[in-house]
Amino acid sequence: MFDCIIIGSGPAGVSASLYLKRGGLNILVLSNGSKALKNAHINNYYGFLDSSGESLYEIGIKQLDKNSILHKEEEVITILNEDKFIVKTTLSSYETKRIILAIGSSKKLDEKFKKYLGNGVSLCAHCDAPLYKNRKIYYSGISPYKEEIYKELSLYSKDIEEIEFNDSLTLYGDFFLEGVIVNGVDTKLDNLFLALPLTQVSLLQTLGVMLDLKDYVKVDEKYMTNINGVYAIGDMIDGVHQVASSVYQGMMCALKIIEEYKNA
């Protein structure tokens, strides 16, 4: 079991990892890249006259290697909170005592899905599939997430139908989900499980992490969420969204965890 798993390999995640490694913790970094940073242009960060976000990202990955920090390019599918945290990815699953979330702010749920979240739409098969036991269950999403969610749904029903996921997908209903339209085809339904990449909102459903009104993750002065052992840093939390602030938050979060680790 890991002492801490860091999800995200941008400035915040790498900064936290470097300090946690130095503090003697057994850690793992999971990420499939930092798209926001790779597309950025950096000209106001100390020590760099001018740099592309991609080159800065690559330097961060080299720092992980130089410091013998285990990191894997695996997309996180879901996180389970039991007596320990279980992080499931596209390739494997890992157990950890703590989690640092550093997945950025771009991964937010589309408003058309948020409208019916908890009223027919679910992001957590583990949480909500038992409510539809032996009933017809619908799901929609992209690979490899939809294959994983299908496995979970099949534990509760043999009658499962996939709804094609594309830009034409429209949901309707006054308050509760009543149906969907995709490619001009109207399907009456009262449930839809979404199989999408990890978002702030899916973290809310699977882990119970609280968000503010702007969908940023709420944290305290230690960067801990309302869930003990789950931290959030970088663009996931409200504030100044710059490389410098992300690096600072990664450092401070790691130092707080190291302090707790040594005092345990």
Q: What percent of the chain has pLDDT over 70?
A: 90
Compute the distance between CA of residue 254 and CA of residue 261 in angstroms, rounded to an integer: 10
Q: Global pTM? A: 0.81
Reported as a single tens digit per residue, the pLDDT across 107-154 is: 667 889 989 988 999 988 888 999 999 999 999 998 888 888 899 999
Is residue 209 within 8 A of residue 99, CB to CB? The reply is no
CA 29 to each of CA 94, 107, 244, 255: distance values in angstroms, whole numbers, following the listed order = 11, 18, 20, 17
Q: Among residues 263, 262, 261, 254, which one has the least CA distance to residue 222?
A: 254
| Band of residue 33 on the pLDDT scale cut at 50, 70, 90 | low
179-207 pLDDT, tens per residue? 999 999 999 999 999 988 777 677 767 78
